[in-house]
Amino acid sequence: MSSKIQGVHHIAVKPTAEQYEKTVDFYTRLLGMKVIKQWGDPERPCLMVSCGDNSCMEILGGDAEREPGGPLDHIAFATDKVDELVEEIRREGYEITTEPKDVDLAGMPIRIAFLYGPTHELIELFWVKQ
């Protein structure tokens, strides 16, 4: 049976109104993601940023407090710059929960690290080493 899933289309985070600008700044300035769509109004702004392939991150304006981590376990982003990004993110004051390390994932050599984003979403930086 072939997979019905063709890849990640988008991952959504919903920061509180107070966290919205910090969240947008984290994904656009710090991680370098490009805004591809914006909508909503000043009270409920929304946008999508490109994850670098055909998938997107959707940032939805919210107003209620959210539980740390929300309903997502983690968001994994592919990158060959795991160590570089971890150091830049650390300098910005974000918590690194798992330092960069090499792992053998069922015969696939990878390098990973985990960190918390601005709304306490758990993010994995994931590099398939060639």
Mean of pLDDT over the chain: 85
Distance of alpha carbon 99 from alpha carbon 40, whole angstroms: 37
Q: Looking at residue 71, what is its pLDDT?
A: 43
Distance of alpha carbon 53 from alpha carbon 122, whole angstroms: 21
Q: Looking at residue 1, what is its pLDDT?
A: 62
Distance of alpha carbon 115 from alpha carbon 124, whole angstroms: 7
Give per-residue pLDDT as tens, 79-98: 899 999 999 999 999 999 99
pTM: 0.70
Mean pLDDT per block of 10 residues along the chain (130 residues) reads 64 84 94 90 88 86 65 76 94 96 90 91 87
Buried b (16+ CB within 10 A) or exposed e, 21-34: eebbebbbebbebe
Dihedral pair phi/psi, residue 95, rounded to 5°: -80, 125
What are the domain boundaries of the chain? 10-128
Coil/strand/helix, residue 23: helix
* Topology of the domain covering 10-128: 2,3-Dihydroxybiphenyl 1,2-Dioxygenase; domain 1 (3.10.180)
